[in-house]
Amino acid sequence: MAFPQTRMRRLRATHQLRGLVRETQLSASDFVYPLFVAEGLTGRAPIWTMPGIDRLSVEEAIIEAGAAAGLGIPAVILFGIPTHKDAEGSGAYAEDGIVQVATRAIKQAHPDLIVVTDLCLCEYTDHGHCGVLRERVGHAGTEHTVDNDATLELLARTAVSQALAGADIVAPSDMMDGRVGVIRAALDEAELSEVPIMAYSSKFASAFYGPFRAAADSAPAFGDRRSYQMDPANGTEAVRESLLDAQEGADMLMVKPALPYLDIIRRVREATELPLVAYNTGGEYSMLKAAAAAGYMDEQQSVLEALTGIKRAGADIIITYHAKDAAQWLT
């Protein structure tokens, strides 16, 4: 019926009514909290590009993970910052690599907390790319390109190493073709078939990664990652990437970044029934933090609105640096 019989404002009149009919419910149980764990660090080191986020020693990572768990956040995702880097990123799959050490320590201290391990080589290679390089002769002379198939073996080794260290979920973020299938096969062969794969399926070549790359010391030494990360202009390709990862054995799919790609989250949500993760990136975090610090916006309201929008678009799980603050506000 039309106005005046129909009055949409009736159910907006009070806080209680709005809560009763709210379609999208945001809670701390939706969040995964990222931790940057640095080898050789004592204590904490502030990350200048991400106010409120620090690089952590293993001991501090245990404390930070416990604080997250105490707020009802069910999971953390670990990013390692090694003291040594080489051409093949050997620190990523070393038994005593920083992520492996931190995983064991956190799982021992907080056995019920889910530990997700980011699975990539970019933080461990001396050239900063997500795989091993090979030379080729191009029109501009000798060029270096990431060797997709040679990288797959190292990603599989990393997945097995992280899972043996106690990772509950491995999360390949490299964007190499075929890596989900190779990782699934390697985990199964190592009798780790119960370990799920959270695939960075639609990972776009984004300017919103800038603060993260400063935090993780993972910027490429030359060129960029547009030859393997996705073109921001492509939506149908993102759905195709997600479906391919599902076919290869991914247990969860991801869209990264989140806020500039809400349409992609919705399209992937409609294309698959797998749990869908959205990565609310460092650039998205720092953008809101800077605006709040300048007095342009209310931080609590803007952050909760942004996270609600991500979930409303179709995300089941949100990786976000706002996790601790948001969990407190929601409580």
- pLDDT by residue for the chain (331 residues), tens only, comes to 899 999 999 999 999 999 999 999 999 999 999 999 999 999 999 999 999 999 999 999 999 999 999 999 999 999 999 999 998 999 999 999 999 999 999 999 999 999 999 999 989 998 878 888 887 766 666 677 889 999 999 999 999 999 999 999 999 999 999 999 999 999 999 999 999 999 999 999 999 998 988 887 777 767 677 888 999 999 999 999 999 999 999 999 999 999 999 999 999 999 999 999 999 999 999 999 999 999 999 999 999 999 999 999 999 999 999 999 999 999 8
| Annotated active-site residue in 203, 289, 311, 324 | 203
* Whole-number pLDDT of residue 223: 67
Closest CA to 29 of 295, 261, 281, 317: 317
Cα 187–32–195 angle (5° rounding)? 15
Report yes or no: 172 and 179 within 8 Å, Cβ to Cβ.
Answer: yes
What are the structural domains, with CATH classification, of the chain? 25-330 (3.20.20.70)
Half-sphere exposure of 23 toward its Cβ, with a 13 Å CA cutoff? 7
Please report the sign of the dihedral spanned by the C-alpha atoms of residue 122, residue 128, residue 131, residue 132.
negative
256 counts as catalytic: yes
Report yes or no: 43 and 57 within 8 Å, Cβ to Cβ.
Answer: yes
| Annotated active-site residue in 85, 107, 256, 324 | 256
Report yes or no: 130 and 120 within 8 Å, Cβ to Cβ.
Answer: yes
107 counts as catalytic: no
